Amino acid sequence: MTTIGRTQSPAPVAQGPSRLARGIRRVALHASVIGLMVFWLIPTIGLLVNSFRSADAVSSSGWWNGLLPPTALSLDNYASVIGQSGIVDAFVNSLFITIPATVIPIMVAAFAAYAFSWMNFPGRNILFVAFVGLLVVPLQTTLIPILRLFATLGINGQFLAVWLAHTGYGLPFAVYLLRNFMGSLPREVFESAAIDGASPVVSFIRLALPMSIPAIAALAIFQFLFVWNDLLVALTYIGAANSENLPLTVAVSNLVSSLGDGWQLLGAAAFLSMALPLAVFFALQRYFVRGITGGAVKG
């Protein structure tokens, strides 16, 4: 016997996570991130506290004792570092090395990235893969051959040698990052510019460069930090050939004598050398994530 007019109850609708569960997950996520951040910062905080303490205090107790009363923190280490002969000149040398060694590879890489992204020429993909493949070449294997080349050219010990070296070392990654970012730009923009009669140079200057500012800023952060913190390249290509051109990293390493004297100054010197890179990073940080993620979406 068939029942007429019988209605079937609707299937239960799957309920999403409750507001309380989402809140708990959010709190747990933020607590984990904050915990990892604090754990990561502990060595840096310890180094910062010890940079304000005397050598005897650092040797006799842990850095956390410097935060307990009575505190004996002072600026003596910083005054000693700034008062060292050659520190100011080394800081200026680092600026002379870092600024051109950051600007030159970015300019060259921008032209190359545009060509690899929007210009057709024979062997484009093979050349790009070979160029980016230079990333796997260890930097140390190139020091002696390039040093001999610079000595033959007579530029060993000059700023030009370090500029050229850092340009060569930074170009593969710079081209890779900028090419991926420029390759993800809207094709319609460049096609419209070509229809309007714009040459590749005009499209590069007026379209590709302005739209690639996030990637260029992110690359500038990477390159600036790499060159500013570099010790090996500057010491190899300048070294004893011209001690007047040595950068800040070499001057900081020379604060400690062969017998270990002056080690208490390294913390203060490290934070003084970090001031400018931190300023550059915070000035360009709004472009950092956009540049990195934009350069990773297209191969």
pLDDT tens-place string over residues 70-104: 778 888 889 888 888 788 899 999 999 999 999 99
- What pLDDT is stored for residue 263 in this prediction? 82
* Percent of the chain scoring above 90 in pLDDT: 31
pLDDT tens-place string over residues 154-201: 998 899 999 999 999 999 999 998 998 898 888 898 889 888 888 888
- What pLDDT is stored for residue 214 in this prediction? 86
Which amino acid, one-letter code, is at 133?
Answer: G
- pLDDT grade for 7, boundaries at 50, 70 and 90: low
- What pLDDT is stored for residue 16 in this prediction? 53
Q: Taking residues 236-258, report their average pLDDT.
A: 83
- What pLDDT is stored for residue 218 in this prediction? 86
- pLDDT grade for 1, boundaries at 50, 70 and 90: very low
- Asked whether residue 63 carries a pLDDT value surpassing 60, the answer given is yes
- In contact, 107 and 224? CB cutoff 8 Å: no
- What pLDDT is stored for residue 299 in this prediction? 43
pTM: 0.81
CATH number of 80-294: 1.10.3720.10
As a whole number of angstroms, the distance between CA 253 and CA 240 comes to 15
As a whole number of angstroms, the distance between CA 39 and CA 290 comes to 27
- In contact, 105 and 219? CB cutoff 8 Å: no
- What pLDDT is stored for residue 142 in this prediction? 92
- In contact, 252 and 270? CB cutoff 8 Å: yes
As a whole number of angstroms, the distance between CA 218 and CA 114 comes to 17
Choice among 131-140, 163-172, 256-265 with the minimum mean pLDDT? 256-265
Q: So where are the chain's domains?
A: 19-74, 80-294
Choice among 54-58, 68-72, 210-214, 288-292 with the minimum mean pLDDT? 288-292
- Asked whether residue 274 carries a pLDDT value surpassing 60, the answer given is yes
Highest mean pLDDT among 4-13, 51-60, 68-77, 167-176: 167-176
Distances in Å between the Cα of 140 and the Cα atoms of 38, 154, 165, 270 are: 34, 21, 12, 24
Please measure the distance between the N-terminal and C-terminal CA atoms of the chain and give it in whole angstroms: 67
